[in-house]
Amino acid sequence: MNAPALHVHVLAGCAPSPLAHYLKAFGVLRLVAEQADEHARGFWRDETFRLVTSLDREALESFFRKGYQPTPLIAPWNGGSGFYPRDRKVGIDAIAGSRSPRLAAYREAIHLGRELTEGLSEAPKSEEKTRLMRTARGRASREIRAWLDAAYVITGDGDPKYPALLGTGGNDGRLDFTNNFMQRLAELFDLKGAAELRPEHRALLSATLWGTPTPGLAKESVGQFLPGGAGGPNSSEGFMGASLVNPWDFILMLEGAVMFRSSVVRRSAVREAPKASAPFAIHADPSGYASAHASDKNRGEQWMPLWSRPSTVGELARLLAEGRSQLGRGAATRPLDFARAVSRLGVARGITAFERYSYIERNGQANLATPLGRWVVSIHAAQDLLDDVAPWLDRLRRIAADKHAPASFQRAARLCDNSALACCRPGDRGQAYCDLLIALGRAERLAVSSPRFAGGQRFEPLPPLRAGWIRAAGIDDLCEGRLAMALASLHGLESSGPSSDGGPRRVVVNRLDPVRRHWLPLDEKHPRKFRVFADSTNATIALGPEQVCHGHDLIRDLLALLTRRAAGRGAETGTFGLIANAPVRVRLADIAAFLAGSLDDALILELATPLMALDWRSLRREHDPKNDALQARDAANPPAAFALLRLANPLSPPAPSLGAQRDGAPVNALPEARLDPAGLARLAAGDLTAAGALARRRLLAVGRR
């Protein structure tokens, strides 16, 4: 026996956006698979849904005209649901009075709803409403339970929680979805006869499936699912426009929403999302889209999956039953978490992208399912780097949400989230990681501008960053980046005592003395924390005399840094010098360009401050000596004035590898490390001639000509 021919229908009326058209694709596939062709499959391609079925076009339309059995959607706990004296009853009475076998399950559901509301003159409130919802779930048939699972869940303490997809248990404000669903059925079908589609409405079916233009849209509310059809000011000719909807769109989108069932057991494994319990629903953040604003009121976000492989209803049901994306061992609960999971393929079953929606309050107190863009599933080499800062960003977000938080913290949190989300998008990720580093550095400096609030919130410096950030942000490819890394790598020196062979004392890198402490008030014993002064009532980040660099002007900060090192502790013993704590590939051509004023000083400083958090040990492990030879061939002669001043003001002792010796011992003893405060003062005043003269005298004094 030959297998039936398969038809691939391009359902132009089903698109990833708006949400009504997305859900409609699920509705078409579910109904066809459950009632007409159990082998039907569906997938997305070229912004439209494709239905693979043995039904040809005429058979598909005939199924919806004559064979479609509506899912029994009822919400007797809601006012306006059709079960109370003041409710509209056109739809519910028509279905209850129909004798069509196709509506038998619906008649049973209506009978149950009327039993549950018997004797009630209005919808119950509070505990009575909860009791009615629990009773409805306990007495519901299998057909009704599918809808109930999508509309609400009962938690362990017996209270209902509402997935944002279906409002608050099947309604959006005063619009009850189930009653409107029944009214649309009564409009389209001849419920007094065989319950077939009325001939005058065939064009509406064609429009909903194939996207063909048609007149005759109903002036009815559509709720949050179709923002463009919600009406309101400036939506049509004149001052106000009516809400317009194709009744088939409303019916099929709710049929599709039935597939998005919630599970309180699954949700209890992660941080609760009380108003976003549907599959792939997360807490909302005003980040990652142009119209974001911190004051936006919303009911959470939902990221709707798109897939390119033909899938059955069963496969999609399993995907939605899991209803989450994995991020390490946990589930993604925030947009940034979800974007990270998407970028690292932490989602299953061949999903190619997600359409991001947020249920945002617009048009008064009405919620609209607002599309916020698409996130493509992709993988890139630097995808794990965000793990370094994810806990820090979570902490920053919580601090910014405090009611006493300065506006600067709120702006910084949004900027960091936006920049981190950009790192998860396909495109120029190098620039995205560079922007993220800058955003992190700006946020970290809030400890200095708001020390009391930051101290009270136990704000901390950036955690150690892996060397991979340098490659991800393209630091080595920028003159400004290489100079920023050189500045960030500087650490102080300390004496290691006499050498084992009795030679002169040597100096080593003091890892507890990073140059970072001149920008940030770090704790001396614990450089990964801020220095905090606390009394019985308050805690504040304690700024000290070491914090001489303010992060506003590179030249001023460099002069302040050198002046402080020359006058600070160690000036007598010579341990005030600075040395790179890792191999940094700065070229003399970079220095020449900086001195010529052809580089972006602000960029150097904005990159240097977050790079000070680098784990320099990881950078040393990844150092490639071959790059040193490349630098030597690429070397350029520095300006003579720079060479003179640099020789006269060494930041650290010369390395033994340079070959300089005195009395048979390498010249790296402490007396070599000296800075000239007088020369620095002349440079700060802009007097290069006087500074050069002082430098020449210093060199002559130590026998260098």
453-489: pLDDT as tens digits: 999 999 999 999 999 999 999 999 999 999 999 999 9
Residue 692 lies in a domain: no
pLDDT at residue 497, as a whole number:
60
Q: What is the mean pLDDT of residues 573-591?
A: 76
User: Dihedral through CA 286, CA 290, CA 296, CA 298, nearest 10?
Assistant: -70
Give the pLDDT mean for 79-90: 95
337: in domain: yes
Domain termination site, one of 174, 196, 218: 196
Residues 371 and 401 in one domain: no
Q: Which domain holds residue 400?
A: 386-456
* pLDDT recorded at residue 284: 79
Lowest mean pLDDT across 89-103, 149-163, 389-403:
149-163
Residue 673 lies in a domain: no
> Are residue 285 and residue 320 in the same domain, yes or no?
yes
**Residue 428 has what pLDDT?**
83
Strands (E), 581-664: 661-662
Tell which of 178, 196, 214 closes a domain. Answer: 196
Residue 168 domain flag: yes
361 & 450 share domain: no
pLDDT above 60 (res 258): yes
Instruction: For residue 17, give the DSSP letter.
Output: S
For residues 281 and 340, state if they share a domain.
Answer: yes
Alpha carbon of residue 362 to chain centroid: 22
Average pLDDT over residues 33-54: 97
Output the pLDDT for position 418.
Answer: 93
- What are residue 233's phi and psi, to 5 degrees? -60, 140
pLDDT tops 90 at residue 110: yes
pLDDT per residue as tens digits for the range 492-548: 877 666 555 555 556 678 888 899 999 999 998 888 899 998 876 788 999 999 999
Same domain, 369 and 271: yes
The pLDDT of residue 276: 40
Q: What is the percent of the chain where pLDDT is above 90?
A: 54
pLDDT of residue 364: 58
pLDDT band at 47 (very low <50, low <70, confident <90, very high): very high
If you compute the radius of gyration of the chain from its CA atoms, what whole number of angstroms results?
Answer: 34
pLDDT at 392 over 80: yes
169 and 272 fall within a common domain: no
CB-based burial label for 107 (10 Å; 0-12, 13-18, 19+): middle
Report how many domains make up the chain: 4
- Confirm if 366 and 450 have CB atoms less than 8 A apart: no
Structure tokens at 478: 């920028």
Rounded average pLDDT over 39-52: 97
Residue 216 resides in a domain = no
**For 354-379, what is the mean pLDDT?**
83
Measured CA distances, 96 to 87, 350, 357, 433 (Å): 15, 43, 36, 61
For the segment 608-639, what is each residue's pLDDT rounded down to a tens digit? 999 999 998 877 655 555 555 445 455 567 78
| Residues 126 and 173 grouped into a single domain | yes
- Whether residues 366 and 444 fall in one domain: no
Q: Extract long-range pairs of 570-575: CB within 8 Å, 24+ residues apart.
A: 570/492, 570/493, 573/495, 573/670, 574/493, 574/507, 574/670, 574/671, 574/672, 574/673, 574/674, 575/492, 575/493, 575/494, 575/495, 575/507, 575/510, 575/670, 575/673
The HSE-up count of residue 28 (CA atoms within 13 Å, CB side) is 31
By CB atoms closer than 10 A (0-12, 13-18, 19+), residue 237 is: exposed
Q: What pLDDT is recorded for position 238?
A: 42
What pLDDT score does 157 carry? 76
Q: Please give the share of the chain, as a percent, with pLDDT higher than 70.
A: 81
Q: What is the pLDDT of residue 232?
A: 46
HSE-CB at 669 with a 13 A cutoff on CA atoms is 15
Look at residue 268 in the predicted model and tell me its pLDDT: 41
Prediction pTM value = 0.83
Examine the domain organization and report whether 276 and 298 are in the same domain: yes
Q: Is the pLDDT of residue 433 over 60?
A: yes
Distance CA 91, CA 107 (A): 12
Tell me, what's the pLDDT at 653? 59
On whether residue 161 sits in a domain, the answer given is yes
pLDDT tens for residues 626-672? 555 445 455 567 788 888 888 887 776 554 443 444 344 444 443 35
pLDDT band at residue 71, thresholds of 50, 70 and 90?
very high
| pLDDT for the residue numbered 403 | 93
Q: Are residues 49 and 142 in the same domain?
A: no
Residue 655 lies in a domain: no
- Give me the pLDDT at residue 696, please: 87
Mean pLDDT for the stretch of residues 595-599: 92
Same domain, 394 and 371: no
- The 10s digit of each residue's pLDDT in 199-249 is 999 999 999 999 998 877 777 777 788 886 544 444 444 433 445 889 999
DSSP E strands, 311-407: 326-327, 330-331, 351-362, 366-376
List helix spans (H) across 118-234: 126-139, 142-151, 177-188, 202-210
**Residue 355 confidence class, pLDDT cut points 50, 70, 90:** very high
Higher-pLDDT residue of 574 and 653 is 653
Mean pLDDT of the chain: 84
Report the pLDDT value the prediction gives residue 506, as an integer from 0 to 100: 65
Give residue-wise pLDDT tens across range 270-310.
444 444 457 888 887 776 655 555 556 678 899 999 999 99
Claim to verify: residue 166 and residue 101 sit in the same structural domain: yes
Looking at the DSSP bridge assignments, the partners of residue 153 are 161
Instruction: Mention every residue, 6+ apart, whose C-beta is less than 8 A from residue 135.
Output: 116
Most confident of 40-54, 338-352, 465-479: 40-54
pLDDT for position 683: 85
**The last residue of a domain, from among 437, 456, 475:** 456
Least confident stretch, 402-416, 558-572, 647-661: 647-661
- Distance CA(547)–CA(698), nearest Å, equals 29
Q: Is residue 41 part of a domain?
A: yes
Q: Which CATH number characterizes residue 30's domain?
A: 3.30.70
